Amino acid sequence: MPLDLDAIYVDLHRHPELSFQEHRTAGVISEHLTALGIPHETGVGRTGVVATLENGDGPVIWLRADTDGLPVPEQTGLDYASTARGVDPAGVDVPVMHACGHDMHITALLGALERLWTERGGWAGTIVALFQPAEEFGAGARAMLDDGLLDRFPRPEVVLGQHVTSTLPAGRLGARPGTQMAAAEGLTVTLHGRGGHGSRPHETIDPVVLAAATVMRLQTIVARETSAQDIAVVTVGSIHAGLKHNIIPAEATLELSLRYTTDDQRERLLSQVHRIVNAEAAASGVEVPPTFDGVFTLPPTINDEAATERVMGAFRAAFGEHDVVDPGLFTGSEDVSWFARDAGVPLVYWFWGGVDPEAYAAAVAAGTLGRDIPANHSPFYAPVMHPTIERGVDALVVAARAWLG
């Protein structure tokens, strides 16, 4: 019986799971792969699933989809909206939503595997399908590789992947050779003050005031220390300090996200962050210097030029010139490139649109695209099911066939 991709998508959307907690999701993937008769292994990199389609002599390609959700309360109003909850790494109960479209990624890859397996008389080679956990945590690809991915499964000649996006209308595809997505650094900074009573601030070193000053000064890295010709982002995404209104806490914690495109930029940004944080701490008279803990490092997502043209050429032939574009460089980041880097092979990573074409066109005409079209990671984000599912399946099949004949 053919897969009901609509039902699969709705089920996955209703039941998102946080990074490295994708146990139900992995079970759903395994169930459908079993129904298709496709050999696979579960538990790769903790909660990853790897399927292998061997079909005679030919190239080995890897197709990748990520599987985790985000700690976001869904506000789409859809009748299949998520009401799921989970426990984050800090032990906090949080709402969970597929706010980045990974449910669509899984659905498209399952649909593509079904099509390719059914049509295996028309191609030769081996497809390794990676259902990767914990992309949002920046650790899933590394976990699968550290679990022996390259030794346990056929090594690739190319790694292919895709991401649904709010920046393109449904039906359109986009990729560019070279840097497609920025690198990212996750950094936790702990500011050490001296706590005390809220009525006697003169006896304390207030880390909340220190945190506020630090956040504001960090913004000058991009605004005043980065060339307008360079791409850099410094975001403080989280501040934690204190538990009660009349207690000055002893510590404040800042969680930073840095984005850049080159190794030189990485070193410069880290140096600037350290300089500013330490200087603000010194200005506040701290007795214990700030501490810096790296959470993750993601390299830039760099598309191989020749391989990208091969895939984009296949897309243009299949879908027409109008629906294949250069989407520009994205300052978001991905861990997919670890697969290609560790294997020493080309990467091609493209985007496919998930926005209702009429709504997209209206927002573009009004100049309100950023306001009217919810972006990935928004509580209002949800790609339209059609033709997003169909184009996601088709794109993977066409890209695979570009390598497998």
* Residues 12-31 pLDDT 10s: 999 999 999 999 999 999 99
- Position 90 scores a pLDDT of 85
Q: Cα–Cα–Cα angle for 22, 187, 99, nearest 5°?
A: 35
pLDDT at 374: 96
Residues 269, 376 within the same domain = no
Looking at the structure, do residues 52 and 139 belong to the same domain, yes or no? yes
102 assigned ligand-binding residue: yes
User: In sequence order, which residues have a C-beta less than 8 Å from that of residue 23 and are 6 or more positions away?
Assistant: 17, 47
Q: What is the pLDDT of residue 1?
A: 81
Are residue 285 and residue 388 in the same domain, yes or no?
no
322 is in an annotated binding site: no
Q: What DSSP string runs through 330-368?
A: BS---STHHHHHHHT--EEEEEEEEE-HHHHHHHHHHT-
Residue 66's pLDDT is what?
A: 98
Instruction: Please count the structural domains in the chain.
Output: 2
Q: Residue 7: how many CB atoms within 10 A of its CB? A: 10
pTM reported for the whole predicted model: 0.91
What's the CATH code of the domain at 246? 3.30.70.360
227 and 325 in a common domain: no
**Angle of helix 23-36 relative to helix 102-118, nearest 10 degrees?**
10
Residues 270 and 169 in one domain: no
CATH code at position 156? 3.40.630.10
For the chain, the average pLDDT equals 97
Quote the tokens at residue 351: 């985007």
Do 227 and 215 lie in a common domain?
A: yes
Which residue stretches of the chain have pLDDT < 50? none
| 277, 297, 317 - which closes a domain | 297
Backbone angles phi, psi at 256, to 5 degrees: -110, 145
Same structural domain, 278 and 378: no
Domain-ending residue, one of 297, 312, 341? 297
Q: Is 136 annotated as a binding residue?
A: yes
Question: Are 221 and 325 contained in the same domain?
Answer: no
On whether the CB atoms of residues 48 and 33 are closer than 8 A, the answer is no
Whole-number Å distance between alpha carbons of 305 and 387 = 28
Q: Residues 96, 216: one domain?
A: no
Domain identity same for 319 and 390: yes
Q: What is the CB neighbour count within 10 angstroms for residue 31?
A: 11
Choose among 101, 27, 99: nearest CA to 70. 99
| DSSP per residue, 2-46 | ---HHHHHHHHHHS---TT--HHHHHHHHHHHHHHT--EEEEETT
Of 239, 274, 297, the residue that ends a domain is 297
What's the first-to-final CA gap in the chain, in angstroms? 26
One domain for residues 271 and 342: no
Nearest residue to 127 (alpha-carbon basis) of 63, 206, 56: 63
Q: How many Å apart are CA 276 and CA 297, to the nearest integer?
A: 21
- Is the CB of residue 189 less than 8 Å from the CB of residue 289? no
| Residue numbers of the domain that contains 257 | 185-297
Any residues with CB less than 8 A from the CB of 1 and at least 6 apart, and which?
Answer: 35
Same domain, 98 and 223: no
Q: What residue has token string 């099911």? A: 385
Residue type, 382: A
Strands 251-260 and 183-192: antiparallel
Q: Do the annotations mark residue 32 as ligand-binding?
A: no
